[in-house]
Chains A and B, each alone.
Chain A
Amino acid sequence: MSDTHAQTVGYVRETFIPEQAPPHAVTGPVKWLRENLFPSWFYGILTIVSVLFIFYVLSIFLPWLTGGVWDAANIRECREIFAGDSAGCFAVLTERWHQLLFGFSYPQHAYWRPTLALILLAVAVAPVLFSNLPRGMLAFTALYPFIAFYLVWGGTILIPLVALAGVIGGYLVYAQLVDRSLVGGLIAGVVAAAVIWWLGGFVTAEMPNLLALEAVPSRDMGGFMLNMILGVVCVSLSLPIGILLALGRQSSLPIIKWICVVFIEFVRGVPLITLLFVANVVLAYFLPPGTNFDLILRVIIMITLFASAYIAEVIRGGLAALPRGQYEAADSLGLDYAQSMRLIILPQALKISIPGIVNVAVGLFKDTTLVSIISMFDLVGMIRGPILASTDWNGVYWELFGFAALLFFVVCYGISQYSQWLERKLATDHR
């Protein structure tokens, strides 16, 4: 940069060259293609293979989908319409959609009830899932089980009302006594609730038709609705049990700890299907002679036990992830075990466990299809049983299983997207 060099330069440009567009190779779609599809020869080959694969799949799938028959009375009519083509016989879906969704025994004129219950479920769950919604909505969440029971099972409105009254009464008693002693409060609350239910039983027996919806026995539940019922009921029941199990496993009391450990490891060590066998063929022998739970209730019990063991492990992870200082801080404030858990530890541990719990819930919801193996007509059971067995639709596989897969995919994908969103929201480390 010394002056001497300036002499050797013949010409110095005094103005900027006008900006030019970048070469085609590094801009626009070409750049995108180069960077994303052909960054190296290896990925180039992968891209080509992928394109061929997608083309191959679509070339089979699209004609099947677009050429499908939506209006036919049975598979023979479908075959006549195809005249040798391979196309989808979607008429089975239009013909049997109500059986796939609601089972074959649920009264058709009452389909609005489970549908409404499903819509309300979204409203009830929303405040739990999204913390920025008004907290007042949680009141509806608390009411939801009773509303859903009334809608789905029907019967007089008094049953859920009495149940609700019992819960409220029990809670009021508990709230009165909890400051003096947690255990005393719990026991008194349970007793109060039991008394209210017992008294309410007389009222319900007197007026069985007050504002009654048509009662539907649980045996008549079926189709995708049964999967939803099992999934929602079992997950919500298993949450409190799972919390207790997790606390028990972390407890310093050896007997309680070992009961919980044995239970959790036992349940996690066996496949769900064996537990369903228990529900179906063994549990009846362990109940008092003369009582007989119907199958759906036995299945709910076993799936709930199954789910609670997995949820307990998730919550245990949450408890373990809390910094030691939180426990010590609670102790140093002079809180006893129940108070420190209720006020300090669990609220935080549960919050960081939510993604894990959601994953367990998705897995459990998928596993509800296993009830088809023990002769319950859930979505898969409906397909493998009555629909494929009927002379009308024997031989329609892809359409039915594709439909089932699609339904599950929509629900589970939605939930797992939520869980990922939540994980991102809760992730506080910056990288």
Chain B
Amino acid sequence: MDEYFIRTEHLCCNYRDENGREAPALIDINLKIKKGEYIAVIGRNGSGKSTLAKLLNMILLPASGKIYIDGKDMTSGNLSDDEILDIRRRVGMVFQNPDNQIVATIVEEDIAFGPENLGIPTPEIRRRVDYALETVGMRGYEKHEPHRLSGGQKQRIAIAGVLAMQPECIILDEATAMLDPRGRAEVINTIELLNRERKITVIMITHHMNEAVRADRVIVLSDGRLLRDYPPRQLFSEPDFLRRQGLGVPQSVELIDELRRQGIALEGEPVTPEECAGAIMKYLKQKKAHDG
């Protein structure tokens, strides 16, 4: 047994551009992800985030390098079809456009799609569908038509569809990008619940820095290279790096950074608005005590 659920060694992958030329999409990626971790992956469009996601559940194959899932070498080239299906079951994916990943015309049939493909017996599929709907908070929508649901609800259905396969890891490929703030909150809350209570490993590809703030670790990709693999606090303590990468910085982090530049020695590594407010208040109180 491997200590890491996902491990890559010198992983490289190429893609074919529209002129048919091979170009590197990922270069020498070394990753270690433990079971139950919450990982955010950030990077500009075209930095290789989606390629990485598709490699991890064998939708794409690497040009070179190794991928180990739960200790097993996925790149040995002699995996049986059943072994590949098992990897896709264990590493589920949720994509950006909710409309393009819902297969069936009725919610419960869509959630059953994965288990049906896996040949799970009917009573067990029923149990899993009910459980998955319960988990994403969509009980009562069994017979609804997906195209009438809101974006956030559709994405929760997509998550439930993955959940019904009983995965150990869920990869969300910009799954919140097309949602409004309410829908985004619905999806994030669901994912955090799965990570916290069901111990599911989460890999969250996102453009929203305030989503990345909540992860255990943030991975920064740029032009196919892995530039950072830091806890969020450490990453957001270099706002200049993030700006250089065209990644944007949460306003709270920006404020703290500006204050420090102007000589205010704030303590700690605050990243969320609550923490930043706390740090500023602490400084204010100390200053008052000092002054008064």
A binds B: no
The chain A residues found within 8 Å of chain B, CB to CB, are none
